[in-house]
Structure 1
């Protein structure tokens, strides 16, 4: 699947962009510096945020197996990376296609919903602590989208 920006450019192949498309392109370009800044902040803080999330998770859920903790580590890293990339490119489909669809199987297979409900709550707090005011709102919708998709597999819903 192509990104919204790519789709707009494909549609305008033999014509000029419409005024609405020009506004979309302008908003994309004007938002790029801030999205890039947030992307870099998440990238630079990833290791610390994931480590602190897992430490807190293990305190709250001391009976988690090392296999589950390792899966959580891998999934949290991928969640941050794909969410940051989708935010940077303003492409929610990227997150769904490259992360959520395949991760759903592992969450269901290993029955990770309860651990992930706690892990995602902690990770959201780590993001709030790590990002400056206003920056969190760039990436939060994508994290929340993944969280909602993965935690609703067995009817579980996360509350923030």
Structure 2
């Protein structure tokens, strides 16, 4: 849940919210409404967006095994769904704890980082066609968080 909303809800237990608190509450609610629009768009156009990504991925990695490409696409489908929910919740930890902690090991074992990096790049390109810049700004940090987790240029300490 929005940390700002949680704080306001706790404050409301003791007294009515002041005008500046109500403004913060209103901004959070308006932001949530915009993020719900993004979520709906992703839900409704998921197949269309991922089909374009899949077609471009196959063309780019024509020499790779089809199964490896399919698995990476399935992972990024999950990542996109979880990223959308993390965006709604305004909570990057949701994405990390619910998905990335276990998926990172799977990706490392498969050694599919180059494919995953390409899927991320193609997905961002397609999302920029489907979403406006403000919507991309709300969603992209969560997709980038996933990429940073899964596609490591260097070994983490």
Q: TM-score range by the shorter chain?
A: 0.7 to 0.9
More helix by proportion, 1 or 2? 2
User: What is the rounded CA distance, in whole Å, between the counterparts of 1:150 and 1:16 in structure 2?
Assistant: 45
Q: Size of the alignment, in residue pairs?
A: 154
Q: 3-state SS of the aligned residue for 2:64?
A: coil
How far does the alpha carbon of each residue in 1:104-154 deviate from its partner, in whole angstroms, 9 at most, with x for none? 0111000011111111110100100111342211101111111112112x5
What is the TM-score normalised by the length of structure 1?
A: 0.82
- Please say if residues 46 and 80 of structure 1, whose CA atoms lie closer than 8 Å, have aligned partners that are also in contact: no
Match of 1:75 in 2: 75
What is the TM-score normalised by the length of structure 2?
A: 0.84
**What runs of 5+ residues in structure 1 fail to find an aligned partner?**
none
User: What is the rounded CA distance, in whole Å, between the counterparts of 1:73 and 1:119 in structure 2?
Assistant: 7
User: What is the rounded CA distance, in whole Å, between the counterparts of 2:100 and 2:137 in structure 1?
Assistant: 20
The structure-2 alpha-carbon separation of the partners of 1:22 and 1:108, relative to structure 1 and needing over 3 Å to count, comes to farther
Cα offset, 1:66, TM superposition: 2.3
- Please say if residues 54 and 73 of structure 1, whose CA atoms lie closer than 8 Å, have aligned partners that are also in contact: yes
How far does the alpha carbon of each residue in 1:66-102 deviate from its partner, in whole angstroms, 9 at most, with x for none? 2212211211211111111111121111111111111
The structure-2 alpha-carbon separation of the partners of 1:29 and 1:56, relative to structure 1 and needing over 3 Å to count, comes to same
Cα offset, 1:47, TM superposition: 0.8
Match of 2:3 in 1: 4
How far does the alpha carbon of each residue in 1:6-65 deviate from its partner, in whole angstroms, 9 at most, with x for none? 753685485348768655533321212211111111111111111111111111111221
2-11 or 26-35, which moves further after superposition?
A: 2-11
